[in-house]
Copies of this chain bind each other. A is one copy, B any other.
Amino acid sequence: MIDLNRIAELIGDYDLSDVVIATVCSHSSLQIFDGARREGFKTLGLCIGNAPRFYDAFPRAKPDEFLCVDSYADFLNHADELTEKNVILIPHGSLVEYLGHKNFEKLEVPTFGNRRVLEWEIDREKQRTWLGRAGITMPRKISDPSDIKGPVMVKYHGAKGGRGFFVAKTHQEFEDGIDNTQPYTIQEFILGTRYYLHYFHSPIVKKGYQLSNGTLEMLSMDRRVESNADEIFRLGSPKELESSGINPTFVVTGNMPLVARESLMPKIFEMGEAVVEESIKLFGGMIGPFCLETVLTDKLEFRVFELSARIVAGTNFFVSGSPYADLIYDNMSTGRRIAREIKLAIEQRRLQEIIS
């Protein structure tokens, strides 16, 4: 893990009137670059090989400069070049995945947010501990198949990117379907509708929904579009398809916007608040955007099946605001909100509170 003193040292040498916002050219980079520019920052796109051409089509989101290397790990060798440019790195899911979390943790470049969140996010057991201590209800894990009393989701270990799942409605269906030669985990299947809640925790902004350190915002919501699960019903039910070797997969292909019942707002804020407060206790606090990935049941109860501790691609729909952000700001994307946070922190000489 990067030493915070080292980051403080690096930032100490920065020309804070000339900060460059950088991120990897994927995931949510369009809104990050667009948002950084709207807040007055220069931008730098990190990529492999050649600069992607598609930015030419989006002039407002095209970074001022590209740094292209041969492999993501290579960025570790370019840390000096980045810090000489006064770069603050914005981590998104693909950046962390491509770089590798070990590399990401030690990269000697000032990075928005608290990098210590990573170990609590990546390790499934630690994440369960975190969420559990925050009072969040998660789908139940079932260790003994004979305890299956209702629908379950079975996931083979090593299954990646939304594949290698199967759904069983009963213990018998589990026994009929399971491939015992592979290790697996069983989780309660939560029937309901999915809501991905996009929060922002600001240690800098003092006015708003108060936390013990700063404030909490709700910027938008989406539902992930999952292939093939979202449209598989056109072909048949999972059970009918099984014999054809077709199983539901949950590969994210994009996102649709939505809003939740307003009466759920108190609960939504309580959940976000509890998760942030617990993060402060556990590792000094999660900073900036995060997402609770939920199923909302027909009893109007949220079940949280995952937490993402940074900007999620579900915010990509909301490049110019959202039904929620519009009640706080003009034309505010999550990418722009990150840049705004950095700008405010620079103005208040508090940058060290939001970077690591």
Contact = CB atoms under 8 A, between A and B. Distances in A.
Interface of A: 26-30, 34, 52-54, 56-61, 94, 150-151, 162-163, 167, 169-170, 189, 191-195, 207-210, 215-218, 221, 223, 225-241, 244, 246, 248-249, 251-266, 268-269, 296-300, 313, 316-321, 323-324, 326-328
In order of increasing CB-CB distance, the 8 nearest A-B pairs are A58-B327, A57-B209, A233-B233, A249-B298, A254-B260, A251-B298, A54-B265, A227-B298
Contacts of A170: 244
A182 to B, nearest CB: 19
Contacts of A317: 257-259, 323
A218 B300 CA distance: 30
Nearest to A244: B169
Contacts of A30: 262, 327
Contact of A235 (B169, B226, B231, B298): B169
Contact of A193 (B56, B218, B228, B268): B228
A193 B58 contact: no
A191 B163 CA distance: 14
Contact of A297 (B228, B296, B319, B321): B228
Given A57-B217, A297-B227, A262 B318 contact: no
Nearest to A163: B298
Interface of A is mostly: mixed
B263 A228 contact: no
A216 B151 contact: no
B193 A53 contact: no
25 contacts: A26-B263, A54-B266, A54-B268, A57-B217, A57-B269, A58-B324, A61-B327, A150-B244, A151-B244, A169-B246, A191-B232, A191-B235, A193-B226, A193-B228, A195-B253, A223-B225, A234-B248, A237-B237, A237-B240, A251-B298, A251-B300, A253-B264, A254-B296, A318-B323, A319-B324
A208 B59 contact: yes
Q: Which of A58, A61, A169, A210 has the most CB of B within 10 A?
A: A58
Given A251-B300, A300-B251, A328-B58, A193 B261 contact: no
B26 A262 contact: yes
Contacts of A191: 227-228, 231-232, 235, 246
A296 B268 CA distance: 32
Contacts of A94: 263
Contacts of A209: 53-54, 56-57
Given A231-B192, A231-B194, A238-B235, A328 B60 contact: yes
Given A57-B218, A60-B326, A256-B258, 7 more contacts: A192-B228, A192-B231, A193-B228, A225-B258, A251-B299, A254-B259, A320-B321
A323 B220 CA distance: 14
Contact of A259 (B167, B210, B316): B316
Nearest to A62: B327
A120 to B, nearest CB: 24
Given A225-B258, A327-B60, A230 B265 contact: no
Nearest to A231: B193
B193 A253 contact: yes
A248 to B, nearest CB: 6
Contacts of A57: 208-209, 215-218, 269, 328
